[in-house]
Amino acid sequence: MDKKSIGLLLGALAIMGCTTGGPARFDFYPPIDGVYFFTVGEFRVSMLVEAEREGNTGILIDADEELLARYIPETGFRHTANAFLISTPERNILVDAGTGVDGIIIDKIRALGLEPDQIDTILITHLHRDHFGGLLGDNGSNFPNAQVFLAAQELEYFTRTNVNEGAVAALAPYQVTTFNPRQPGSVNTALFPGITPMANFGHTPGHTVFLIEDSNDKLLIAGDFLHVALVQFAHPEISATFDVDPHAAAVSRRQILEFAEQNNIPIGGMHIVYPGVGTVEAADDGFTFTPRN
């Protein structure tokens, strides 16, 4: 059986196995080259792993050696770059587009039985290259029928205030729709049924997390709310050199973790290794993360 047929079969199994009520059900199926499946109500969510490599604690701000030794194994740790694909009865929604290197995200979408022109919606958590680079290919738009959605604050910052020419070029072929997310726990307007953006500003000025919900099942896709999971769940006050505003990023990180913990919502990120999604519980002055296997 070829990859496309396997993807269609496993996708059908995922949808048949969905449930109602409670937090997201995680029906993990055998991976297709770094594609992992689970369900949120009737939504099929696939985590697409674009790259995995050795992690680097040097990106953490004010994390001393004693602290790092408590959390980082002597053998090191892995760092990943993920995107997510949400298939609903009405839409095929890509959350971030990866770097675009070697067409890896495109290959994984095809392994699921979809073609790039079947992606009709792209949600961008923020405009760093490893999240927008895959919008463009050698022949222009990689997703010719997609509409791009991102926070107005993000578009303003990276295309007007602190111009990122790569981001400007990547967005140029697309119809771009902006929104104004508010903090978790506030009243936020859904972009589509079951897809609601929430502000998580700090990593970038418009960094956004997305609440996915269907049939009372829920999942938070939280983008770059952290980069070194082994440390930053336990110590959300520690930010990274990639954060535009490290203090605001730390505040937002704690806020989204508290929201996830208090509402019993699984949380996933673009830089959390497989399975990339799990539950959080308050512990001491931070949190523990339990991957959903």
pLDDT of residue 2: 46
Q: Would you say residue 237 has pLDDT above 90?
A: yes
pLDDT of residue 31: 57
Alpha-carbon distance 136 to 149, whole Å? Answer: 16
Sign for the pseudo-dihedral over CA of 230, 233, 235, 236: positive
Percent of the chain residues topping a pLDDT of 90: 85
Tokens describing residue 102: 């070697």
Q: What does R_g of the chain's alpha carbons equal in angstroms? A: 18
Number of H helices, E strands in the chain: 8, 15
pLDDT of residue 230: 97
Alpha-carbon distance 125 to 132, whole Å? Answer: 9
Percent of the chain residues topping a pLDDT of 70: 89
CB contact at 8 A, 264 and 279: yes
Instruction: Tally the domains of the chain.
Output: 1
pLDDT digits (tens, 9 = 90+) for 92-123: 999 999 999 999 999 999 999 999 999 999 99
Report the DSSP beta bridge partners of residue 20: none
Q: Would you say residue 210 has pLDDT above 80?
A: yes
Range of the domain at 264: 3-291
pLDDT digits (tens, 9 = 90+) for 5-27: 444 444 433 333 333 334 444 44
CATH code assigned at 23: 3.60.15.10
Three-class DSSP labels, 9-71: HHHHHHHHCCCCCCCCECCCCCCCCCEEEEEECCEEEEEEEEEEEECCHHHECCCCHHHHHHH
Q: What share of the chain is helix, strand, coil (3-state, %, to 5)?
A: 30, 30, 45
pLDDT of residue 148: 98
pLDDT band at 43, cuts 50/70/90?
A: very high
Alpha-carbon distance 58 to 85, whole Å? Answer: 31
Q: Would you say residue 56 has pLDDT above 60?
A: yes
Contacts of 16 by beta carbon, 8 Å cutoff, 6+ apart: none
pTM, whole model, 2 decimals?
0.90
pLDDT of residue 32: 77
Angle between helices 104-111 and 3-16 (to 10 degrees): 60
